[in-house]
Amino acid sequence: MDKVRRNERIGAMVNILCSHPNEIFTLNYFSDMFNTAKSTISDDVVIIKDLLTRFQLGDVETVVGAAGGVKFISRLFEDDEIFIKDICNELSSPDRILPGGFLYITDILFIPGVVERFGNILATQFYDARPDFVITVETKGIPIALATARALNCPVVMARRESKVTEGSTISINYVSASSRRIQTMSLVKRAVEKGQRGLIVDDFMKGGGTVRGLMELLHEFEAEIAGVGVIISTEDPGQKMVKDYKSLMVLKDVDEGERKVMVEPSPWLKGLIN
C-alpha cells in the first residue's frame, strides 16, 4: 500500500469509528489497514478525540486490556439540549392535540435524523449498564429502540401484543394498563432472550408506566436482568408511576383540549448533565 497521509488516515478512522458506535477497534486493526506504526495511530486517535469533542460530535474512548482498543461513543453537549428544546417547541403546538386530549407525536418518531439523535442521547445514560439487548413493544417504540441499540452496539428484541406463529414458541404475560386499568397481554419469543442477559427497556411514551412494567415482568419470566428504562416522553401526571427509575428526554406537563394548550419541556436531568 502507498503511504497514507495523516489527514487521509484521520478521515477514514473517523468514518469507521462513527459508523460503528460502541464497537471496539484495536490499534493493530488501523495499523494494518494503513501500514502504519501503532504509535502513529495512537497519535491520530488523540487528534480525533480532540476534533470530535471540539465540534460536539461525540467522543473516542480507550478500552484497556487484552481485548482493548478504541471506540466511538455519544456524549451530551449543549447542542443536544438545544435540540430537545426545539422538539419540545414543535410538540407544544396546539395543532397536535387529538380528540380525547392525546398528543400526536408519530411524525416525529419516524424522522430518521431525529430518531437517531434521540437514540444517541438515550444511549449516553446506559453505557455503564452494559445492556445485552434493547427491548420495546410494537410498534411506535421500534424506531427509538433501533436507534438506541445502534448507539449501544446491541440487538433489538420486540415484544408483541399478539404472538405470531411464524416466530415459534413464546412466553406471554398479562399486565394492567396504568391508564385504562384494563388487563392486556404481551408476548416474547423464547429464543429472543437468554437467562442472565441484561435488557434495556425503551419506549416512545410513558404515562402511568403500565407497559414498561409489563416489559419488566416479561423479562423476569426469562430470568433476565433490567439494565434500565428510557423513554422519549413521560407525562407529569400521574406523579406516582408503576416504574420508579427511568430516564425520559421530555416531560408532557399539560394538554388542555378545551383551551387548545400543550406544554412539553425537556426533562430536568438533561441540563444538569450537559457540560
CATH code, 10: 1.10.10.10
Same domain, 128 and 28: no
Fill in the amino acid letter for 209.
Answer: G
Percentage of the chain beyond pLDDT 90 is 88
For residue 18, the model assigns a pLDDT of 97
Residues 113 and 67 in one domain: no
Q: For residue 21, what are the domain limits?
A: 6-73
pLDDT of 5 over the 90 cut = yes
Q: Is residue 1 part of a domain?
A: no
Residue 275's pLDDT is: 47
pLDDT at position 67 over 80: no
**Quick one: cell of 131?**
445492556
Q: Give the predicted TM-score (pTM) of the model.
A: 0.94
Check whether residue 36 and residue 112 sit in a common domain. no
Question: Is the pLDDT score of 250 beyond 50?
Answer: yes
pLDDT of residue 15: 98
- Strand 69-73 with 59-63, pairing: antiparallel
pLDDT band at 53 (very low <50, low <70, confident <90, very high): very high
- Of 48, 73, 98, the one marking the end of a domain is 73
Over range 63-78, report the average pLDDT.
Answer: 91
The SS3 call for residue 220 is helix
Name the domain count of the chain: 2
Mean pLDDT estimate for the chain: 94
Which pLDDT band, with edges at 50, 70 and 90, does 207 fall under? very high
pLDDT at 11: 97
Mean pLDDT of 101-125: 96
* Phi and psi based region of residue 162 (left: phi greater than 0; alpha: psi -120 to 50; beta: remaining): beta
Residue 136 lies inside a defined structural domain of this protein: yes
Q: Taking 90 as the threshold, does the pLDDT of residue 146 lie above it?
A: yes
Residue type, 272: G
More confident residue, 67 or 155: 155
Q: What is the mean pLDDT of residues 259-272?
A: 91
Q: Give a yes or no: residue 152 inside a domain.
A: yes
Q: Which of 254, 202, 256, 263 is nearest to 229 (CA)?
A: 202
Considering the domain boundaries, does residue 230 fall inside one? yes
In this model, does residue 165 exceed pLDDT 90? Answer: no
Q: Does residue 221 surpass a pLDDT of 90?
A: yes
Strands 156-159 and 133-137 come out as parallel
